[in-house]
Amino acid sequence: MSKRDLKKYVAELNKEQLEAQIIELYEKFSPVKVYYNFVFNPKEETLLQECKLKISQEYYPIKKSGRRSKPKMRRSVAQKHIKHFILLGVDPFIIADVMLYNIEIAQTYSSEHIIKHELFFKSMFNSFEQAVIFLIANGILNDFKPRLKSIHEETQVQKWYNEPEFNAVLERLEY
């Protein structure tokens, strides 16, 4: 069904029929429920804190028994939350905060542990590049420049092999 057909169908429904369909969608489909729960009770700060906790547990996991387990360091966990936030229409400042937090927590971990996987560094660069694109697209780059520079400086301190790529992105922003 095309969007045009859907509009035509919805226009033919009376108020009670429309309400019934929305309630049915809400009860039947979890994403619809999540969306309406967010729209009517955004609690963005709570979502942000839960998201940051889940991301940090990728690097500093704690089992229910209280013991530490091996970190998984999955970029996909943060990406999933970012995508979810974008779909919900969360404030771009919060989304940007999560994007940069993901890189910062990974850098904190890598400052304490030797990481030999080249994929880790490539992944963090991809996250950095995506964050910059998002910041530019939402017109909030200047608000986050200090954090971007701090991330780049940390790549220098830790001697990441792909530091020149981070530097190149920042240099492009200066012109």
Q: Which of the residue ranges 28-42, 127-141, 155-169 would you say has the lowest mean pLDDT?
A: 28-42
Burial 41-59 (b: 16+ CB within 10 A, else e): eeeeeebbeebbeebbebb
Q: Is 166 exposed, middle or buried (0-12, 13-18, 19+ CB in 10 A)?
A: buried
CA dihedral sign of residues 40, 46, 50, 51:
positive
Q: What is the mean pLDDT of residues 123-130?
A: 96
Q: What is the mean pLDDT of residues 121-147?
A: 96
pLDDT in tens, 33-88: 888 888 887 888 888 999 999 999 998 887 666 666 788 888 888 999 999 999 88
User: Tokens 């660069």 belong to which residue?
Assistant: 125
More confident call, 145 vs 39: 145
Q: State the DSSP H helix or E strand holding residue 160, giving kind and residue range, or none if neither.
A: none
CA 80/CA 30 separation, integer angstroms: 16
CA 72/CA 58 separation, integer angstroms: 5
Check residue 113 and report its DSSP letter.
Answer: S
Q: What is the mean pLDDT of residues 93-110?
A: 96
Domain boundaries, the chain: 1-41, 43-174
Joined together, the tokens standing for residue 146 give 């200090």
pLDDT of residue 122: 96
Q: Which of the residue ranges 24-28, 119-123, 168-172 would you say has the lowest mean pLDDT?
A: 24-28
Judged by DSSP in three states, 62 sits in: strand
pLDDT of residue 3 exceeding 80: yes
CA 58/CA 168 separation, integer angstroms: 28
* Contact of 35 with 25, CB cutoff 8 Å: no
CA 38/CA 90 separation, integer angstroms: 9
pLDDT of residue 100 exceeding 70: yes
Check residue 79 and report its DSSP letter.
Answer: H
Highest mean pLDDT among 14-28, 33-47, 124-138: 124-138
pLDDT of residue 81: 92
Query: What is 83-99 written as a DSSP string?
Result: HHHHHHT--HHHHHHHH
pLDDT of residue 47: 86
Backbone φ and ψ for 89, nearest 5 degrees, come out as 85, 30
* Mean pLDDT estimate for the chain: 91
pLDDT of residue 175: 60
